[in-house]
């Protein structure tokens, strides 16, 4: 295969990486800004704490929730940035927005991916609270090694699945347009 055949694909890949990097940096600066953090991220994180508290009460744990903190008599956690799923959602969202797909598909991908990441993060927060309460020696490794990796890898996996679907759709559409009579 001549080298010139690879140029459009290489160019498209480089454009994706440039858009992805720019979006990721822009989103991180946006959510790190004090006004956005205070008005959006902290209340969102408090919502995660509240829902997590409800789930924990549903499994018969006596907990109280105050802002971003979940507390029982023997253990407490404060959900901070980095533990609220926002960074993984930004990583996923930047990749989806940078990918060459129509805007409707991007929007659907963003919504579905954000919901899936937050659902997994809810499982993460609840399980970490239970680990901290009942197996405190396992809390630090579960928090920083296992769950942090799982959530980020899940976001990457979601993007890869979504992007593969977009590629298949594009291939099917190209096949229909090249059929005789199209």
Question: For 14-54, how does the pLDDT look when each residue is reduced to its tens digit (9 = 90+)?
Answer: 999 999 999 999 999 999 999 999 999 999 999 999 999 99
Burial label, 117 (beta-carbon count in 10 A; 0-12, 13-18, 19+): buried
Please report the pLDDT score of residue 6 as a whole number.
77
Question: pLDDT (tens digit, 9 = 90+) per residue, 147-163?
Answer: 999 999 999 999 999 99
Tell if the pTM clears 0.85, that is, is over it. Answer: yes
Please report the pLDDT score of residue 179 as a whole number.
55
The chain-wide mean pLDDT, for the chain, equals 92
Say yes or no to pLDDT of 1 above 50: no
Please report the pLDDT score of residue 85 as a whole number.
95
**Rounded distance between C-alpha atoms, residue 98 and residue 95, angstroms:** 5
Please report the pLDDT score of residue 3 as a whole number.
53
Q: Where are the domains of the chain?
A: 3-174
- List Cβ neighbours of 17 (8 Å cut-off, separation of 6 or more): 98
Please report the pLDDT score of residue 180 as a whole number.
56
């Amino acid at each position: 295969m001549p080298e010139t055949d690879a140029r459009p694909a290489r160019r498209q890949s480089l454009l994706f990486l440039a858009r992805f990097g720019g979006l990721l940096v822009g989103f991180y600066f946006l959510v790190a800004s004090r006004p956005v953090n205070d008005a959006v991220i902290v209340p969102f994180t408090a919502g995660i704490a509240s829902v997590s508290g409800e789930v924990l009460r549903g499994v018969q744990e006596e907990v109280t929730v105050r802002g971003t903190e979940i507390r029982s008599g023997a253990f407490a956690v404060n959900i901070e940035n980095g533990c609220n799923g926002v960074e993984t959602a930004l990583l996923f969202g930047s990749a989806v927005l940078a990918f060459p797909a129509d805007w409707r598909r991007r929007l659907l991908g963003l919504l579905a991916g954000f919901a899936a990441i937050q659902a997994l993060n809810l499982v993460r927060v609840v399980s970490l609270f239970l680990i901290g309460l009942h197996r405190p020696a396992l809390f630090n490794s579960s928090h920083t090694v296992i769950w942090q990796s799982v959530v980020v890898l899940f976001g990457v996996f979601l993007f890869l699945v979504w992007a593969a679907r977009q590629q298949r759709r594009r291939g099917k559409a190209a096949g229909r347009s090249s059929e005789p009579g199209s």
